[in-house]
Amino acid sequence: MENFSTLFPCPPSTPSPSPFSFLSMVNNSSHHDFQTHKPSDFLGLMSSTTATAASMEVPASDITNVDSLQTKGLLGSDDGEVKSSGKKKGEKKIRKPRYAFQTRSQVDILDDGYRWRKYGQKAVKNNRFPRSYYRCTHQGCNVKKQVQRLSKDEGIVVTTYEGMHSHQIEKSTDNFEHILSQMQVYASF
DNA sequence: CGGGTTTGACCTGCGC
DNA sequence: GCGCAGGTCAAACCCG
């Protein structure tokens, strides 16, 4: 759980069906090309973002990459094999790469434009907040996400995405696009 | 009535 | 093998 890959590829000119299009690249091996940002720089910028976003009613206001996460057991690795030795005899269990955002938000759910259905909630060890499990409701799209609030800082919500969307975004995400645009700015540092 | 949420049970992997 | 923790299922429930 220590070594996660970069969270914000955000290539400047990628044709995308949604602000979260970079999630569609998770099955692309090139995601290793993306560089990690220094968490200190990143978080430093975030504080200003928080104020801005808060005044715009966005659901989530700052975003950072998982390299700064130290929550035990919160995330898997980025190379598709989340479990350390998660393989079955005969066929190996393929786990999709997972990508996490750390966001500072009053609400748990980021309105990323896709429709999600909650399918589970679990209490997490060493965390007084439960982890929620969501699946994309679009037919044939089995993207999942987990949402968890950090117990050490309850203002921070970690959203972990697994898989890629196979469809267009389903509703307007003006607010979220604004966040994404800000993310790109930060990513350029 | 359809779609989403809640929640306890169940499954699986892992460490001891 | 056992117990624990994470992840998923599915029935019941809720709500527009």
pLDDT in tens, A115-156: 889 999 998 888 888 899 999 888 777 788 888 888 777 788
Mean pLDDT of A101-124: 79
| Strand B reaches within 7 A of the A139 CB | no
pTM summary value: 0.64
Residue nearest to nucleotide B5 (CA to C1'): A118
A137 touches strand B (CB under 7 A): yes
Torsion angles phi and psi, residue A185, rounded to 5? -60, -45
A114, A167 contact by CB (below 8 A):
no
- Whether any strand B atom is under 7 angstroms from the Cβ of A93: the reply reads yes
- Would you state the pLDDT for residue A133? 93
Q: Which nucleotides of C are covered by protein (CB under 7 A)?
A: 4-10
Give the closest residue to C4 (Cα–C1′). A125
Give the number of residues written for chain A.
Answer: 189
Highest mean pLDDT among A50-59, A67-76, A104-113, A123-132: A123-132
Distance of A74 CA from B16 C1′ (whole Å): 22
- Mean pLDDT estimate for chain A: 57
Q: For the residues of chain A, what is the DSSP string, one character each?
A: ------S----TT---SSTTGGGGGTTSGGGGGSPPPPHHHHHHHHHHHHHHHHTTT-S---EE-GGG---TTS---SSS--STT---SSSPPP---EEEEEEE-SSS----SS-EEEEEEEE-TT-SSEEEEEEE-STT---EEEEEE-SS-TTEEEEEEES---S---S--HHHHHHHHHHHHHHT-
- Taking the C1' atom of every nucleotide in all shown strands and the CA of A132, the nearest one is C7
Contact predicate A24/A9, CB 8 Å: no
The tokens describing A138, both together, are 């679009």
Name the residues in A95-134 having a C-beta closer than 7 Å to nucleic acid strand B: 115-122, 132, 134
AA identity, residue A142: N
Which pLDDT tens digit goes with each residue over A80-97? 333 333 333 334 455 667
